[in-house]
Chain A
Amino acid sequence: MKIVILLKTAITALRVNVLRSCLTMLGIIIGVAAVIIMVAMGAGAQQKVDEQIKSLGGNVFFVTGAFRQSGGARSASVVKINEDDANLIEKQVPGVEAAAPYLSASGQVIYGNLNWSTEIDGIDNRYFVVRDWEIASGREFTAAEVSRGSKVVIIGERVRSELFGASDPIGQTLRVTNFNATVIGVLNEKGQDARGEDQDDVIFLPIKTVRNKITGVTATNPKSVRFIQVSAYDGEDMGYIEEEMTRLLRQRMRIPVGGDDLFRIRNVSEMIATRAETIQVFNTLLAWVASVSLVVGGIGIMNIMLVSVTERTREIGLRMAVGAKPSDILYQFLIESIVLCGLGGFIGVMIAYGFVFIGNQYGIGAGGIIETQVVLLSLGFSGLIGVFFGYYPALKASRLAPIDALRYE
């Protein structure tokens, strides 16, 4: 018998009792929708994490100074780390790609009659390596500019668009707080960071320039930095690098065995990843719970198919009398069950799409991403449930003896 006719027969049979068909499908609908929504939320969270990690520039550590403990009470003064620490880490810790010293301030920048309040960071070229950030136009700092503390500035995309608009900023003079600096470069657009802040709203000057002109020089730590951002090569053992850096810095700061570290090393990708893992575990769990409901839906299908076979025993008898083979009857009921599950699955997918769409509109959670293969998989799975739970009732129908089925009261 041709598939189109089988489908027509199945749909006709299901339409005879619309309410019952719908209620039967409900289990599958809810199951499929729940599985897809859960997986979509998981995928959304994962993508967010991946983005955050990527925008940090891969495998990155932050090294900052810590408060000095004195007799249990926290001292107000912060132990400063400095440029030499960065150089040392870069030179001595294997697996480190670059260690970038970083000093930050904020203030007004003025070009012509436009002014803009932005972040003002002191760095050297290593920072671009660590951040995996490229110059869009112009150039990086020269070694001389860095060592002399020249008044040259590389600006972020946001600053460029706010102050320069369509005109070329390279070579222009930008007033940075209280001094003039020459624009030598513009960075690529980087977008928002993990906390949703615009990473392009920034300008960079040589670290010495920022220290001398803005943050000021501390007598006790003349090369102080706010933090050192360290990047490792891909595939390096981050734990080992962290240990090595710790060892190196303790040695350098002459911290006795058992003494507290006077610095902090944070592996940011790992922190984000750990948090993401918790979300993932939770989502996976929910997806499993949802698949259980799918199976329960399948049992509902089987129940109704058994009822349907019994109710339609005389119809089965008639069909056999006019020439239906046992296999024809088997397919008829199997297709009916598959259509029921497939349709339920389809509606479930639609509901999941609606749900995720609305969720994303209102910014619920990390946002959901519905992957096509997940949709195909759940549709396939609900079809399989149709086959699995429909097979026994269909077999039962096909095994009826024509005359017994015809005579059934």
Chain B
Amino acid sequence: MSQPLLRVRQAKKVYAMGNELVWALKGVDLDIYQGEFVAIMGSSGSGKSTMMNLLGCLDIASEGSIAFAGQELSSLSKNELASVRNQRIGFVFQQFNLLPRTSALNNVTLPLLYSKIPESDWLSRAKQCLESVGLASRMDHHPSQLSGGQQQRVAIARALINDPLMILADEPTGALDTQTGLEVMALFQQLNQQGKTIVLVTHEPEIAQFAKRKLTFRDGELISDVRNEYVKQAAKESAA
């Protein structure tokens, strides 16, 4: 097989809580390949978000190595990490994290501010991304004028704007009702079909059923890594 998109070896993360050390990750080995749709599962506090933050270059491992597209992350400077986040990764958060009092369009173009893409291309790109999440008609709406599902779709459009290799989503359906959650999952499946690698954190087994591969964490360790033999189609579920 070709080189993995993400190659994690003995990744550990330790937090200092006062005088105590909390090992949020206790040595994880993991390979994620281009085009995969991975769900990271586990109970609360098991280290899912910590793992995701390391994969997304938002944080650095205390020990061990993580290589993204062959590049060792611990060797990169803050600016280089910022550039990886900007160019290669799209983030989707549980709480959407949109800028308030800012139009959907301007929320979507936010990552472009930090890219080298000429300003003349911004509008067409943003329109295209909003169209692909089905929000072409809501471009001028502010987050407060959008429903939760719509806000999350704006956030997904924002994650897509720089055409990243991978989308990282931390509990993207956590703040949504079941139906809206299914719609968002359908969108992720559609993006995965178009070739985007997707890593999704969730503690809901029903949501994980839409991924092709399921990882389970417990107490900072990866305890199971299985292929999902029966991938459900979120689009069908939501229509039903």
Contacts of B99 in A (CB 8 A): 315, 318
State the CA gap A403–B91 with chains docked (Å). Answer: 12
Interchain Cβ contacts within 8 Å, total number: 65
Q: Which of B93, B102, B114, B119 contacts A328 (CB 8 A)?
A: B114
| Chain B interfacial residues counted at CB < 8 A | 25
Segment 144-163 of B: residues with Cβ below 8 Å from A: 158, 162
Cβ of A390 to closest chain B Cβ, rounded Å: 20
Of the listed residues B78, B82, B85, B91, the one surrounded by the most CB atoms of chain A closer than 10 A to its CB is B82
B173 at the interface (CB under 8 A from A): no
Residues of B within 8 A of A318 (CB): 97, 99, 110
A402 at the interface (CB under 8 A from B): yes
Q: Which of B79, B85, B86 contacts A326 (CB 8 A)?
A: B79
Contacts of A326 in B (CB 8 A): 78-79, 82
Is A323 within 8 A of B115, CB to CB?
yes
The reply on B83 being an interface residue by CB < 8 A is yes
In angstroms, how far is the closest chain B Cβ from the Cβ of A6?
A: 9
Pair A323/B83 contact, Cβ less than 8 Å: yes
Contacts A326-B79, A401-B59, A403-B58; A1 near B114 (Cβ below 8 A)? yes
Contacting pair A324 B53 (CB below 8 A): no
A2 interfacial by beta-carbon distance below 8 Å: yes
Q: Is A314 an interface residue (CB 8 A)?
A: yes
> Are A325 and B79 CB-contacts (below 8 A) given A401-B59, A402-B59?
yes
B56 proximity list for chain A (CB < 8 A): 321
User: In the bound complex, how far is the Cα of B162 from the Cα of A322, in angstroms?
Assistant: 10
User: From residue B205, how far is it (CB to closest CB) to chain A in Å?
Assistant: 25
What number of A residues sit within 8 Å (CB to CB) of B? 23
Would you give the 0/1 interface string for A303-333, flagging 1 where the beta carbon is closer than 8 Å to chain B?
Answer: 0000000000011001111111111100000
Query: What are the residues of chain A within 8 A of B110 when measuring CB–CB?
Result: 318-319, 322
Known: A2-B119, A406-B58. A324 touches B97 (CB 8 A): no
The residues of B that contact A325 with a CB separation of less than 8 Å are: 78-79, 82-83, 114
B-facing residues in A277-325 (Cβ within 8 Å): 314-315, 318-325
Give the CA-CA distance A406 to B162 in the complex, in Å.
20
Interfacial chain B residues near A321, Cβ < 8 Å:
56, 58, 85, 91, 97
A5 and B82 contacting across the interface, CB-CB below 8 Å: no
Q: How long is the Cα–Cα vector from A322 to B115 in the complex, in angstroms?
A: 10
At the interface, yes or no: B87 with Cβ under 8 Å from chain A? yes
Given contacts A2-B119, A403-B58, A406-B58, contact A322 B85 (CB under 8 A): yes
CB distance from A72 to the nearest CB of B (A): 86
Q: Known: A12-B102, A403-B59. Is A323-B111 also a contact (CB below 8 A)?
A: yes
- Give bound CA distance, A322 to B155, whole Å: 11
Q: A12-B102, A16-B101, A403-B53 are in contact. Are A322 and B59 (CB under 8 A)?
A: no
Bitwise interface map of B from 72 to 99 toward A, beta carbon under 8 Å scored 1, else 0? 0000001100110111000101000101
In angstroms, how far is the closest chain B Cβ from the Cβ of A408?
A: 11
A contact residues around B113 at 8 Å (CB): 1, 5, 9, 324, 328
Q: For B119, list chain A residues within 8 Å (CB).
A: 2, 5
* Residue ID in chain A nearest B96 by CB atoms: A318
Residues of B within 8 A of A327 (CB): 79
8 Å CB contact of A323 from B87, B97, B101, B102: B87
Interface centre among B53, B58, B111 (most CB of A within 10 A): B58
Q: How far is the CB of B233 from chain A (nearest CB, A)?
A: 30
Query: What B residues does A320 contact at CB under 8 A?
Result: 58, 82, 85
Contacts of B87 in A (CB 8 A): 323
- Tell me the bound Cα distance from A318 to B115 in angstroms: 15
Query: Closest CB of chain A to B86's CB: distance in Å?
Result: 2
Across the interface, name the chain B residue whose C-beta is closest to A320.
Answer: B82
A326 to B119, CA, bound (A): 22
In Å, the complex CA distance between A59 and B79 comes to 69
CB of A187, distance to nearest CB on chain B (Å): 68
Residues of A with C-beta under 8 A to B102 = 12
A2: chain B residues within 8 A (beta carbon): 119
Which residues of the other chain, A, contact B111 by a CB distance below 8 angstroms?
Answer: 322-323
List B contacts of A328 (CB < 8 A). 82, 113-114
List of B residues within 8 angstroms of A16 by Cβ: 101
Residues of chain B within 8 A of A315, CB atoms compared: 99
**Which B residues are in CB contact (< 8 Å) with A323?**
82-83, 85-87, 111, 114-115, 162
- A9: chain B residues at CB < 8 Å are 113
Q: Are A324 and B58 in contact (CB under 8 A)?
A: no
Q: Which residue of chain A lies nearest to B78 when distances are taken between CB atoms in the complex?
A: A326
Interfacial residues, chain B to chain A (CB-CB below 8 A): 53, 56, 58-59, 78-79, 82-83, 85-87, 91, 93, 97, 99, 101-102, 110-111, 113-115, 119, 158, 162
Given A5-B119, A328-B82, A402-B58, output 14 extra A-B contacts at Cβ < 8 Å: A2-B119, A5-B113, A318-B110, A320-B58, A321-B58, A321-B85, A321-B91, A322-B85, A323-B85, A325-B78, A325-B79, A401-B59, A402-B85, A403-B58
A interface vs B, CB < 8 Å?
Answer: 1-2, 5, 9, 12, 16, 314-315, 318-328, 401-403, 406
A-B contact pairs, 30 of them (CB 8 A): A1-B113, A5-B113, A5-B119, A9-B113, A12-B102, A16-B101, A318-B97, A318-B110, A319-B110, A319-B114, A321-B58, A321-B85, A321-B91, A322-B85, A322-B114, A323-B86, A323-B87, A323-B115, A324-B114, A325-B79, A325-B114, A326-B78, A326-B82, A328-B113, A328-B114, A401-B59, A402-B58, A402-B59, A403-B53, A406-B97
